[in-house]
Chains A and B, each alone.
Chain A
């Protein structure tokens, strides 16, 4: 049995074809759902879930625990890595009513670290966007080092500012819209602008889903059936 397996795995072509056939069968089984809900789909859905969980577990052990923790601690004499076990185990006290406070120490440390990062993340990511939102709307010729602004660019900027202000007004809840009709109107336009934005995002999502189908079809036609080529 072992010899037969060794012989099989030494034949790269046979291994490759088996992998492709497995992928093709899995793909077709999942796509049977498009016809209707059925037992084949359910079976392969559970295969996928099992595979994903097993793969995730394998990665944690083979890529993190063994090379980054066990080997340095056990083989390379870095005994202080043993404390990582204590730190990691502290998280699991979240399941204990009596010793729950121990987990809060670990969670607090991680949250403190994340909050520190978030300050820099927020400033670095968002402040330049706020500055870039202050756009000129009057066309002008270049002045010194400052570039000029063409009429079309000025119109673009004006549209940008109009959308920005109306959308912001939609999220400004301190107005009494019954009394301030203009503010209510701006918020209404802002809502329409948001709808346009969501429509564009939805269109992009559909495009992405089609791309996934294209990828699978290419796999079936090119890798499995060998019916098409580049």
Chain B
């Protein structure tokens, strides 16, 4: 086997080991790669900055442990921004796992900002009802639809919910999700009431976010892990998103390198008189 043929036939297990090595490297040796801020991420940041005083934000989510590396940095960065700006928010989980994961995240961050559950944020809990029915009902009557938080405490007993009656009291929504249901928020809330909606999808779902962004149905988008890293950069507070996006950048560089290597091998072996492979 010639060297050009070897370049095309690297054992996949060798590639896996290389991949693990380049992903692990930034975890052991932290460094900072330049992060360009895209307009869609800037849009989310600006929308949070312009939430009117006294209005509640909603962090809606249906992610689980499977997409933690993408959804957690997005959630954490948004929560930090809301805590820092003293914007009260409600966690609206669409899955049981999300209830716990988002609550744990808020509880971990809250002491850094001196925030207290019930006063500065609330977790509405998973309601096990169809999303459309919940959104349509919630838009008109939040206390009547949500009724109690994830612990079973009536909303009326939570100071953060004081004065929150319907969607007009909501200043910002961000839907953090690995699935394609953002258009339900757009169709049933943004299109009807004009509430600013942001989207924080996993990278797989990014493509479907660009047309509503272009149509101004979304105020912005955090595309996957990279979106979380950009948001942390905007907050000037690099955390897991920035660190993990370094791993992602190195992994992609490795893949590009391997693709180029195999193609060089292919064309070189053809030029040398072979049939490519």
Contact = CB atoms under 8 A, between A and B. Distances in A.
Given A207-B226, A210-B252, A128 B217 contact: yes
Interface string A190-230: 00000001001100111110111111111001100001101
Nearest to B29: A228
A34 B225 CA distance: 24
Contact of B24 (A34, A200, A217): A217
A208 B239 CA distance: 19
Contact of B13 (A34, A59, A131, A227): A34
| Main DSSP-derived SS at the A contact region | helix
B255 A218 contact: no
Given A125-B191, A128-B191, A212-B67, A217 B203 contact: no
B19 interface: yes
B139 interface: no
Interface string A142-161: 00000000000000000010
Interface residues of A, number: 40
B215 interface: yes
A230 B24 contact: no
A227 B28 CA distance: 8
Interface string B1-41: 00000000000010010011001100110000000000000
Nearest to B12: A34
A121 B183 contact: yes
A210 B211 contact: no
Interface string B168-210: 0000000000000001101110111000000000111011000
Nearest to B28: A228
Given A204-B203, A212-B67, A221 B217 contact: no
A32 B204 CA distance: 25
A129 interface: yes
A173 interface: no
Interface residues of B, number: 49
A208 B224 contact: yes
Nearest to B204: A208
A218 B20 CA distance: 11
B212 interface: yes
A214 to B, nearest CB: 5
A75 B204 CA distance: 45
A83 interface: no
B187 A215 contact: no
A206 B243 CA distance: 18
A216 B24 CA distance: 11
Given A124-B188, A128-B212, 8 more contacts: A63-B128, A210-B251, A211-B69, A211-B248, A213-B20, A214-B248, A218-B69, A222-B27
A172 interface: no
A120 B239 CA distance: 40
Interface in A27-47: 34-35
B187 A124 contact: yes
Contacts of B206: 204
A68 interface: yes
Interface string A114-149: 000100111111001101100000000000000000
B181 to A, nearest CB: 10
Contacts of B98: none
A217 B186 contact: no
B16 A34 contact: yes
Nearest to B223: A204
26 contacts: A63-B96, A121-B184, A124-B186, A124-B190, A124-B192, A125-B186, A129-B212, A204-B203, A205-B203, A206-B252, A207-B225, A210-B23, A210-B248, A211-B203, A212-B66, A213-B19, A213-B251, A214-B247, A215-B67, A215-B70, A215-B244, A216-B69, A217-B20, A218-B69, A218-B240, A218-B244
B165 to A, nearest CB: 23
Contacts of B211: 129
Nearest to A64: B128
Would you list the 5 A-B pairs with minimal beta carbon distance, nearest first?
A: A215-B69, A124-B187, A124-B191, A132-B215, A208-B203
